[in-house]
Structure 1
Amino acid sequence: MEDKTWVGTLGFPTDGLEESVKVAIEGRLREDYDSLAAFPKDKDFDSHYNHYCKEILWPVFHYQIPDHPKSKAFMDHSWKYFETVNRCVADVTIKDYKRGDTVWVHDYHLLLVPKMVREALGPEAKIGFFLHVAFPSSEIFRCLAHRQQLLEGMLGASLIGFQTEEYTRHFLQTCSRLLRVEAKNDGLELDDRFVNVINLPIGINPVQLEKKRKEEKVQEWLDTLKTRYAGKKLFVARDKLDGVRGVRQKMLAFELFLKKHPEWVGKVILIQVALTTTSIVELQSTVIDIVTRINCTHSTLDYQPVVYLHQDISYHQYLALLAIADALIVTSLRDGMNLTSHEFVYCQDEKHAPLILSEFTGSASVFDGAEIPVNPWDHSKCADALYQALTMPEEEKSERWKKLHKIVMHHNAAYWCETFINELHRAWEEQQRRGSTMIPRLSTKALMEAYGKSEKRVFFLDYEGTLASWGSPTSIILTSPQRTLDVLHDLLLDERNVVYVMSSRTPEELERLFHRVPGIGLIAESGCFIRLFQNDRWLRLADNKLPWRQSVKEIMDYYVERTPGTFVEERNCSYIWHYSRAEDQTLAARQAGECCNHVNDSCESYNVHAVPLGGAVLVESMNWTKTTAAQKVMVLEAGQDEPGTDFLMVMGDGRDDEPVFAWANELGRSGAIKNVTTVKVGTKNSQANTTVTGIAGVLTALHKLPATIPDF
């Protein structure tokens, strides 16, 4: 990307800098490095980075709950500094923003920035966010005191990216559970917009790495290492010395390996580079104790089994180590990706040494078994993996390396960057098209003109919230206003009109609601039943046996028992857990998120999903929907010896109407139906191509249509 600007902090104390110096720094950064500097106060940055990021967010994102006083997890004020630094970076970004720019926010240090930028720039801003570390399950994430603010901060983005499918799934489940929003495979349905979510593993830059490998210093160090460790097999590792990189587990596995295979004592050396961090001192002491114990047990005058460097090494030394290694050992307890393993594969184009990789790293999901996978907690199996790496046949090494190298070259940094930007543009364009401000109002004049020219018309009209304000899916009130009945009756006077009303209500309820409109078609329980147009016969589209019913009922009963004032409504093909009258609304709302998560996790194989509604949770099958029912209707209508449908109108207000809009719009784009009008009631984002305001707008538009054709 040529036209880009970096925004960040300087990385050193700035309180002591005079204003003129800051201005000079800003000018130099802008002119020479295409960069903008944020200048938070030193105390703000220190508390943001060293306290909240490193002592709270980092452990939690890597499945370690900070529960001891030394972690500073109990210092609530650190959240204030986290907010302040995020605001500082957001303000610099907002100030420099120009219409049409793309904002790409990176990693957990700036989780709040997407929302801050969104609030300032509005719905048209194109904002991406990528999380470079792991994202934990909802059970872990919910332990954070400011969990809701963090999630809402991320949801300010148009597109959110994660390293693996697992982390993406955890994020979607966490939002569904804690924020009670509808999670779909490709994102989250918020009230005012849709947020796309993808998984896209990051990679290395092979071109840049190749340039570094060719430098003389790398070859010098390679020659030095070959001389120093001639005749020895080398295990190599480079990790931060913190609680999630598994250095302690690695040392214990190596110690066990030497005990199980004494024939390798004196022949194999582990070189461990341990980068200094702000980690707890106890861990450092424990690792040093294990290293000392191994060396004291197995060292001789000319042999030391562990070379432990509690410091970083130069990049040239690092590349030389990767090239000379007989195996790289990565035993992270949790890792977003692990680009050290990618660099190792690239540098092993001659030796083809194997890669020993923790199954808890993001890279393990990318390498697809071409590595030697290990569970860092299983020291015995880790020791066996070390032996396997040393004794692996050359042919197998070569085959594994070829697979790894192909993956590393494909999932490189350029591919990651280009793909994310392209996905962001695509997601943003779709969101803008669906945004309420971009969807035109329904033109009654254009609608009447298309209606008048058509020979056969089909209407699919949602009931709750579209034709009537009463009778919502969670309400016990069953009634249809007279005006609604009159409008439907007038439409049916024209024999060229086929009218279906769609609802989540049961067939029995819909018959009571529309018994005064004879002949009208009905779609009940969101597509499980159809009463054919001008026919009293009901078709059951859903299977008679629903294998998930018992499981879902047990789950919902579980939550009813624990939430006083709630009850389950059982329908033919669905369940609704009503909690609008719960004694404790806060508890009920939290339990609703838990219930959705529970059902979606437990019944995924049945293709069943739970959807949060206002004061209720609806559980239904995804095999039978309003869309499948509408498609069935169109097939039946096409089978009759009549003119083909040339006018289709779909009106609705809910999330379950969106797939029907998408299906109808596609019929229009493909030319299958000449005139297609999809209408969203309200101001929420939608796939409909027009909107109206309120039920009155729906009834007014429908009322005008019969008057379009002169009554002869």
Structure 2
Amino acid sequence: TIKANHQHRHIIAGVDVAQRLSGVALKLLAFEKLLTEYTVWQNKVVMIQRMIIPNSRRSDEIATLNQVRGLVSRIKASFGDHVLDYTEHYGSSLPIKERLSIWLASSCFMNTCVREGLNLHPMEYIFTRKEPIEPGIVIASEFSALCSILNGALKVNPFDVQMTASCIDKALSMENAERLGRRHRDIGFVGSCPSSKWTKNVLRDLREVTLLNYQRDTLNDAAMLDKIICTPANPLAIQAAYEKTSKRVIILDFNGTLVKKEPTGKYLKREILGTSGQKPPTKVMQALRKLTSDRRNTVFVVSGDTQENLENAIGHISGLGLAASNGACFSWPSMPGSPHQWYNFEFGDDWTAVKQVALPILSKYTARTNGSTIKLSDASIGWSYYSCDPEWGGLQAAHLLVELEHQLAAFDVRFVTLKGVIEVVPKMMHKGIVVKKILREVASRNNGAGVDFVLCIGDDVSDEKMFSAVYKFKSEENDDYNNVTASPSVKPKSSNISVTNARVMNEVRSLRYRNIDEEDYAFTITVGKKTSTNASDNSSGTTASHYINDASDVEDILVTLAGGDVSQRSLSWDFTENVGVDFFA
């Protein structure tokens, strides 16, 4: 038997297809690192590695086998033949009798794929080692599909060889109580999901998606007959208005506007915002520097990302105002060489008390939902299940939302449900709050000289509040301050002392223009063609006055306003589309 051949040794099992994406070379490098740095295991462990050669991708298989054979020879030369039991098998799979004998003999199963679909071997291993057999531990690559399914598995990044070796050591030396606990997390799920159920679920999902797509297309076709597509933006009109004015405010979203959104599938098993590690294109940076250097301009970037990510991406541009976390905190434009001074809005709730209630609930659901994470920002508490098994994550999210609504009923908060995320935020918090604050402050300058040019660009539903804030501001011009809703008070992030409007943002004068007959312009632009709607409509349309195609069009607008040349216009810039439209009426 296998145990008799490897007496008194812990067995690590692995069965993989001989292809580069299986990550067997990375597994062997981690095993070599374990034997090198954790010398106690040199005479106590053996890895059983079976390579399946299906002859479906010959060049890939040959290259992978050559690399793996070289590593096997090197490990055996360094530590002896007894540390590796390596064989190759031709065919599509290893016979089930041989697989079961390996699962029963091994104390650990290891998968270090770089990318793969659903691999049933880890679940077969867990089921084989159900009671009364001693539990085994699964080490799973974070790039595998099973990583989102098995709560009891140890997760590794195969490219981090040192961390993977440490994880092997942890699995081999794990106490039995923890092994039992990890098996208990998965055995119920694995035991109740045979392959027939998986097949039925896949077919059911395909049928539901097909029906939903058909219904959505039918409804969209009918709805489009009654809706008006938003007007394409005209850069010549924007440029002409810009050159006519001198009290300008430019407000820009970040991800999806200044920076193109990353494909959702670019990063596996992680949810990474488009701002993470990304900066706007060079031309956009240059245009922003030129625009912020003009004393007649106030330029702000309002983002849903964190303060840290926003500062890392564009914080070095002097004279650029920043607002992070969907407007929860902001920094007025800084002078060259000066750090940003950040302020928080005070929304009236004791956010510490909200966290004390919400975090234990979120921690409970995070523990039971593999792949979920808790995200904290200045004025929001988020629970992300983006990287979870979709069905399980969605089910847990539904239960979590009910529990949060019940426990936080005494607080003035609301719940934002996005794709893969539930967020708890102050009821008053949205991007429109900081946009209105910016506009009111700029308008209060020079004894209430006002604002004669507003350009606001965004791309998603959170930016609709920015557009609404622009319209609200314009409607309040020359009104009495007592008739409008004041913005929330603010305080420095480094202090608990509230800052008065007179010190940071003097709103009272912003509603008083010296010249009410002065020409002024406001452009609200959404990225992507959408149907027009009104602020009270709950449809998926936009309240923006114009649209552009994508983030490259935003670049063209900014470069044009900064006095640069745009060699090629996209279709949304085609002036012939707008013949007969008087943008200055």
TM-score w.r.t. structure 2 length? 0.45
Larger radius of gyration: 1
Q: Could you say which structure has the greater relative contact order, defined with CA pairs below 8 angstroms and 6 or more residues apart?
A: 2
TM-score (norm 1): 0.37
